[in-house]
Amino acid sequence: MAWVTQTLSSSLGRKVIMSLTGLFLCSFLIIHAAGNLQLFKGDGGRAFNEYTYFMTHNPLIMTVSYLLYTSILVHALMAFILTRHNQASRPVKYAYSKPEANSEWSSRNMGILGTVLLLFIIIHMRTFWFEMHFGSVPMAEYDGKEYKDLYRVVQAAFGELWYVTLYVICMVAVGYHLWHGFQSGFQTLGIRHKKYTPLIEFLGKYFFAIIIPAAFAAMPIYVYLQVHHII
């Protein structure tokens, strides 16, 4: 098994771990965004609460959720290890450097963007995931069946302007992170071909870096406007 540990601790192996966990997290974003579109239904939160019940009780989804938590931790930990290693590779910095002449800002700041996202995930999970699992969430009853009314928690959180602002800023960070990250993940796996790379770049930039973060950002804005009877 020496070859396995040796491969995974090489610079390329570490990047493969980043790529696989990162792309898995990208796939999660699609499900998360699609599911949470229930917030827009305008039915007082019934569809959303039924959806959250399904997500917290389906055994397959519960199993995948542990894979998800692990992926977030591994992705962050490996990023930390790689960043430290990369910084050590240039102990004396340039007195004058002009990186903007040869590369995109997002590609050079994945660590900073990732740190913002990690902090966001902690805040986000404290507000919703923790409340859902361990907090005291009010109950709602539909057709004689009891549901945890997470929709009330969402309304309370997204009724605060500072919280909505924080979410929108963090979704911009998601956009920049995926602008580089999605296509870069494929490059790490060696998947680069004139037939597929244009599609991968298109998906990464327009779907993952713009549409998905925009959909997420629309949720707190919509709920805020609704709670305050602006729409």
Does 195 interact with other proteins (rule: CB under 8 A)? no
89 binds other proteins (CB under 8 A): yes
Question: DSSP assignment of 34-60, as one string?
Answer: HHHGGGGG-STTHHHHHHHHHHHH-HH
Write out the E strands in 15-133.
Answer: none
**CA of residue 117 relative to chain centroid, distance:** 7
Q: How many residues bind other proteins (CB under 8 A)?
A: 42
For other proteins, the closer of residues 42 and 190 by Cβ is 190
Say if residues 133 and 209 touch (Cβ distance below 8 Å).
Answer: no
What amino acid occupies position 121?
Answer: I
- Nearer to other proteins among residue 56 and residue 107 (C-beta): 107
Beta strands in the chain (DSSP E): 139-142, 145-148
| Cβ neighbours of 163 (radius 10 Å) | 16
Indicate the residue among 10 and 58 with the shorter CB distance to other proteins: 10
Q: Is the dihedral of CA 77, 181, 116, 89 positive or negative?
A: positive
96 touches other proteins by CB under 8 A: yes
Stretch that binds other proteins, among 41-49, 97-105, 139-147, 221-229 (CB under 8 A): 97-105
Single residue of 49, 52, 71, 184 touching other proteins by CB under 8 A: 184
Using CB under 8 A as the binding rule, whether residue 35 contacts other proteins is answered as: no
Apex 56 CA angle, 120 and 171, nearest 5: 20
The separation between CA 80 and the C-alpha centre of its own chain, rounded to angstroms, equals 17
Q: Considering only CA atoms, which of 31, 14, 19 is closest in space to residue 185?
A: 19
Contact 174/117 with Cβ under 8 angstroms? Answer: yes
77 contacts other proteins (rule: CB under 8 A): no
Q: Does 44 bind other proteins (CB under 8 A)?
A: no
CA distances from 169 to 94, 113, 209, 216, 218 (A): 31, 11, 14, 11, 12
Task: Rank residues 60 and 88 by Cβ distance to other proteins and give the closer one.
Answer: 88
11 binds other proteins (CB under 8 A): yes
Closer residue to other proteins in complex, CB, 7/58: 7
State yes or no: residue 91 binds other proteins (CB under 8 A). Answer: yes
Residue 75 found at the interface with other proteins (CB under 8 A): no
Residue 14 binds other proteins (CB under 8 A): yes
Interface region with other proteins, contact rule CB under 8 A, candidates 57-65, 100-108, 128-136, 214-222: 100-108
Q: If binding is defined by CB under 8 A, does position 133 make contact with other proteins?
A: no
Residues at the interface with other proteins (CB under 8 A): 2-3, 5-7, 10-16, 82, 85-86, 88-99, 101-104, 107-108, 110, 180, 184, 187-192
